[in-house]
Amino acid sequence: MKTGSTGQRGAPAWPVLAFTSGFIDTVGFIVLFGLFTTHLTGNLAALGSQFTNGQGGMLSKVLAVPVFMLVVALTTLLADRHRASLASLAGCFMAEALILLAFMLVGALHAPFRHADEPMAVLTGLLGIAAMAVRNALCRMHLARLPPSTVMTGNLTQLVIDLTRCLALWHTDGTRSAQALSSLHRLLPGLMGFMSGSLLGAITHALLGFWAMWIPIICSMMLAQLAWQRARLRAEKLASLARLQPWAPTRILRGRSRPRRAANEPRHDHDVASASGDQRAAA
């Protein structure tokens, strides 16, 4: 299985990935007392602050790193069992959707939580982290050519760099300016998707509570369905090529024949020798 082999084909899905990441991160942060589900650096910073100030609510943040690593390892082992990258990608998206479903059900049935160290609050947070661990793993294995969809700091930095280059090099270096503009068009949809997902996550959670998680679950299931369809079409194409019969026209199988020699073109020594050999064989 080639790493990042489906990266270019997955480019249209990147805004959807960024949208769901922003949505899930916002809902988890609101409900789970400042727990980040999409990335770990924020949790580590909050853990250090809580430890210094002697505050509680550190259990989920302490368990976030080992749970994240364990789920990434399991996802890698299961995904590597499939040779077809698209089939493996579809399975990862479906696993993410199922874990998000458990995340929603546990949170909806037990929220609002009284404190961060409550067992069901810890379990809910770890389920959200597990779902995003699957997301990070599948993006690394299958969509490595796409920008990160869970952490937007680097993407925002690159966006500002590209925008600055477009404005500064517009009249001096057209090639570099065009490259920066192309990168700008590539990054902008994902950043807009992440911001809109964060905003919509906050609004829908205020209206529906944890049941708002249906939106990213449906998005993950749709991405899984698209990946399955592409995997099936690729398998059918390979099967149709394998059914080619040996009685196919020999001209197609052998490729192009030797070009004809012009009438006035001089014959080489090896052509004369082969012609005389053919005449002796005929005699």
What predicted TM-score, i.e. pTM, was given to this entire model? Answer: 0.77
What is the rounded average pLDDT for all residues in the chain? 80
pLDDT of 115 over the 50 cut: yes
Which residue's structure tokens are 């059900």?
105
pLDDT of 101 over the 80 cut: yes
H or E stretch covering 17: helix 14-31
Lowest-confidence range among 6-15, 206-215, 244-253, 258-267?
Answer: 244-253
The pLDDT of residue 7: 44
For residue 55, name the pLDDT band (cuts at 50, 70, 90): low
Q: Can you give the residue ranges of every domain in the chain?
A: 14-150+197-235
pLDDT of 233 over the 90 cut: no
- 14-150+197-235 under CATH 3.30.70, yes or no: no
DSSP H helical ranges for 32-118: 41-53, 59-79, 85-110
Tally the C-alpha atoms within 13 A of residue 113's C-alpha that lie toward its C-beta.
23
